[in-house]
Structure 1
Amino acid sequence: MKAGKALWILAFVCLIDAIGFGIMVPLIYSYGKQFGVNKTVLGFLTASFSVAQFFAGPLLGRLSDRWGRKLLLVACLLGTAAGFVLFGLAGSLVVLFAARIIDGATGGDIAIAQAMIADISSGKDRTKFFGILGSAFGLGYVIGPAAGGLLSRFGMSVPFFFAGGLSVLAALLSIFFLKETNGGKKKDKDSGVNSFSYRALIEVIKCPVVGPAVLSGFLLTTAQIVMLIGFQTFCADALQLSPTQVGLFYAGFGISGIIMQLAIPLINKITKARSVILMVSTIICLGALIWAGLISTMVPFAIGIGIYGLFNGLRNPMLNAIIADHSKAGEEGELMGINQSYTSIGQALGPAMAGAAAAVSLHTPFFLSGALMLAGLGIVFRLKTQESPAGKN
């Protein structure tokens, strides 16, 4: 099928996934309190999704390499829908955990969508395609919390049913309008499961280019989550912003990243070296974080966070393109799944690390995020020395 058609369907899948995640974020605690969720349990409930995704993502990606992307993508979307509906129907804490685990275990749709982008794109347009996927994510993260807040007025379960319905819609669109992108590659249905070993989660770190890309992505994602938690507490307690103002501030942060992702074709006219773009953007983000941690007034803080949000938008498109460029034929799904696994663990560790840092001071999360980003920058330097200037296609 034409790359453009597939790209926009996959972008819509990513948009729906991000909307669902965004819907969950502001409601999970208030909804779960009626079933006994407190701040401690909330951490475990949130982590259950990430842990399930950590183990399931690479396996689902590997199966998509063997059995085809479309089948696994549809299965993951339907699993996500089931998780949301079960969450909305929950009558106990056990059911809440079961729903989040189901959603996490079938959360390979993003890795599969990324593998499909790798299938249909060549080296020259790969970052642009991943940038469009990233923009869809960013837009979903902006829309999701607002949609969740509005729909909750009709009942606390309504937003979760809505998210489940969106996932079903994405599955139907994939069934009827998305063609298989992995059809020309060898599929070994009998060895799909047996050929995958969880040792690959460790072994991939040793691989040239791909290993540093995955590891730097993990560190930079964790840094972002720590920053976002610190951002919320700083806005509420230091700047005395209302929840509505914090939400608008967060939306502006998300929109700035979308703008940068859409500007990737222009950036590529300056340089096509993805590791260089990643390195420069990481340095700028590090400086913005240090700035945000040193000041205490609204306008300078907003400038620092705005700069961070703008250049942080380049991270995922560059890393995903680098991983896709250096993946062996037939292994794109597995590697994208492994990358998603490390991202999910960063998303699980970030809140706990940010909470501990915020207990020291409202500024500490920004410095902790900066330390993680500095470590990630060291890995990016290593990545730059290993990356070849041209993609594999």
Structure 2
Amino acid sequence: MSFTIPLIQFVAFLDLFAVGMIVPLIPNHVRQLGGNHIYIGLLGSIYSGFQLGSGPLIGSLSDMKGCRKILIITLLLCSISYIAMGLTSSIIMILILRAILGLLKQTQLLTKALVPEYENDEKVQSVIFGKMAAISGMGMTLGPITGGHIAEDYPENGFFYIGMIVCLCFLLNAGCIYFLPQGKIQTMKKTEKKNPNQNFLQVIYSSSQQSVQELSKVKWSQYWDLFMFKALLGFAMGVYYSNYALYLKTQYDLSPKHTGYVISFQGIIGAMSSLCMGIINKQYPYDKDFSVRNYHVFLLLSISVAGLCLSHNIWVYSLWLVPLSIGNAVGRLVTLEMILRKGDKEHKGTLIGASNSVASLSGVLSPMAAGLIGQFFGVQFVIYASLFSNVLALILSYRYKTRHSKTD
């Protein structure tokens, strides 16, 4: 089964490559169809809002029915949604399809949940998660470039061609997952046997009911602090990236081309950081619960954002982007590891789903907060909201580290 992990990593890469091809082009496509800024703003809010609720539900379903089965179904439905998006000329239909994708598109969640089924060693799992984040991050870097070239070369039908390519990518991913061998961790089959007389809607209802029951079994009070770290990190980075291009244009008069270079630079640093997660973990041999690493991540992020606030030219600003990109990439992996280490294997999918929902909640709130700050105080003050979130997380992470070191 040596090919299973690379195949899962390929699926994660192709997923973000496909998404990166089409998602950056959707706002401009909606504008060409006659949509205003309200519709464009709704595109992100609707998607994140539905992701908020679907994370625990899809994760819990994967615990009961098996990750492979749920992942294949969602990939097939997403492929249909993307080809439909390429075909339609209705803005309302695009918004509906974004809602459907927000509900179903949990590929990254499910691929992460698949890893423990083929690798039991937790230390190796951490390295695999790091490599997966790096590989999939490269997909998100290459996708927009590819999609942009296609849209520019075929101005009339480019969006349709991209939708078709994205559809094929998701179908290929579904085929890859189908050929994976059965994992070592058995799915929960304690529920009643299937009734052959049940129709599709009854199956969905019964599965959703089982998911809610499984969610109620998790002791959420034990995880509130870990989810708080996830939320604060997501909010800080969400606020920072919400007005990113506008901030660079306003503060440093950067052209879109040079803004793209800065974004690519951050992506490369983040991918390299994720790839080096195994080396980073070796520097913390006694940090079993990842609390020290979590504290160091928010310390690094707080210093980095403070440096960005004080930067007077783009070169100093770019220099501070290095530790910021490292902290962001490592922080996402560390918060995931903290949740997995504290949880039990039986509810790993549910916990990862809840973790993604927390990130989605930040994805809903952070653009709204950035918009309000930019509207009433100016774009240059948006970054201070990111600084406040990181400093608050730094204080909480220090208390968490201190409390757990005393317990140990």
Same fold (TM over 0.5): yes
Q: Deviations over 1:135-177 (max 9, x none)?
A: 123212211221221121222332222222211111111112x
Separation in 2, partners of 1:189, 1:262: 40
Unmatched 5+ residue regions in structure 1? Answer: none
Q: Deviations over 1:191-231 (max 9, x none)?
A: 75323339959976521xx3322221121012112111233
Q: Following superposition of structure 1 onto structure 2, how do residues 158-197 of structure 1 map, counting pairs within 5 Å?
A: 158-176=161-179, 178-181=180-183, 183-190=185-192, 192-197=207-212
- The structure number with the bigger radius of gyration is 2
Residue pair 1:201, 1:338 contacting (<8 A) in 2 also: no
Corresponding position of 2:200: none
Corresponding position of 2:362: 346
Q: Structure 1 vs Structure 2: percent identity of aligned residues?
A: 22
Q: Deviations over 1:213-259 (max 9, x none)?
A: 22211210121121112331122222122212111110110110111
Corresponding position of 1:265: 278
> 2:378 is aligned with what amino acid?
S
Corresponding position of 1:133: 132
Q: CA deviation at 1:285?
A: 1.1
> 2:98 is aligned with what amino acid?
R
> 1:256 is aligned with what amino acid?
I
Q: Aligned pair in 2 of structure 1 residues 180, 189: CA closer, same or farther (>3 Å)?
A: farther
> 1:253 is aligned with what amino acid?
Q
More divergent stretch after superposition (273-282 vs 373-382): 373-382
Residue 384 (structure 2) aligned to one of 343, 367, 377: 367
Residue pair 1:256, 1:310 contacting (<8 A) in 2 also: yes
Q: CA deviation at 1:290?
A: 1.2
Question: Which secondary structure state, in structure 2, belongs to the residue aligned with residue 226 of structure 1?
Answer: helix
Corresponding position of 1:229: 242
Residue pair 1:70, 1:174 contacting (<8 A) in 2 also: yes
Separation in 2, partners of 1:124, 1:133: 14
> 1:251 is aligned with what amino acid?
S
1:288 aligns with 2:304: yes
Residue 43 (structure 1) aligned to one of 37, 41, 44: 41
Equivalenced residues, count: 384
Question: Which secondary structure state, in structure 2, belongs to the residue aligned with residue 330 of structure 1?
Answer: helix
Residue 328 (structure 2) aligned to one of 306, 309, 312: 312
Q: Aligned pair in 2 of structure 1 residues 44, 323: CA closer, same or farther (>3 Å)?
A: same
Separation in 2, partners of 1:248, 1:80: 31
Q: Aligned pair in 2 of structure 1 residues 23, 349: CA closer, same or farther (>3 Å)?
A: farther
1:249 aligns with 2:262: yes
Residue pair 1:220, 1:373 contacting (<8 A) in 2 also: yes
Q: Aligned pair in 2 of structure 1 residues 372, 24: CA closer, same or farther (>3 Å)?
A: farther
1:384 aligns with 2:401: yes
Residue pair 1:56, 1:106 contacting (<8 A) in 2 also: yes
TM-score by length of 2: 0.87
More divergent stretch after superposition (150-159 vs 190-199): 190-199
Q: Aligned pair in 2 of structure 1 residues 361, 352: CA closer, same or farther (>3 Å)?
A: same
Residue pair 2:218, 2:347 contacting (<8 A) in 1 also: no
Q: Deviations over 1:260-284 (max 9, x none)?
A: 1111121122114222112112211
Corresponding position of 1:55: 53
Q: CA deviation at 1:181?
A: 2.4
Q: Following superposition of structure 1 onto structure 2, how do residues 191-230 of structure 1 map, counting pairs within 5 Å?
A: 192-197=207-212, 200=215, 205-207=220-222, 210-230=223-243
Unmatched 5+ residue regions in structure 2? Answer: 193-205
Separation in 1, partners of 2:214, 2:228: 16
TM-score by length of 1: 0.90
Q: Following superposition of structure 1 onto structure 2, how do residues 315-334 of structure 1 map, counting pairs within 5 Å?
A: 315-334=331-350
> 1:31 is aligned with what amino acid?
H
Q: Aligned pair in 2 of structure 1 residues 193, 382: CA closer, same or farther (>3 Å)?
A: farther
Q: CA deviation at 1:32?
A: 0.6
Q: Aligned pair in 2 of structure 1 residues 121, 130: CA closer, same or farther (>3 Å)?
A: farther
Residue pair 2:267, 2:325 contacting (<8 A) in 1 also: yes
Question: Which secondary structure state, in structure 2, belongs to the residue aligned with residue 196 of structure 1?
Answer: helix
Residue pair 1:285, 1:312 contacting (<8 A) in 2 also: yes
Separation in 1, partners of 2:127, 2:65: 27
Residue pair 2:15, 2:173 contacting (<8 A) in 1 also: no
Q: Aligned pair in 2 of structure 1 residues 216, 172: CA closer, same or farther (>3 Å)?
A: same
Corresponding position of 1:70: 68
More divergent stretch after superposition (63-72 vs 302-311): 302-311
Residue pair 2:306, 2:387 contacting (<8 A) in 1 also: yes
More divergent stretch after superposition (15-24 vs 38-47): 15-24
Q: Aligned pair in 2 of structure 1 residues 37, 194: CA closer, same or farther (>3 Å)?
A: same
Question: Which secondary structure state, in structure 1, belongs to the residue aligned with residue 167 of structure 2?
Answer: helix
Corresponding position of 2:318: 302
Q: CA deviation at 1:179?
A: 2.2
Q: Deviations over 1:317-345 (max 9, x none)?
A: 11212222222232111111111111112
More divergent stretch after superposition (95-104 vs 195-204): 195-204
Separation in 2, partners of 1:315, 1:288: 13
Corresponding position of 2:294: 278
Root-mean-square deviation (Å): 2.4
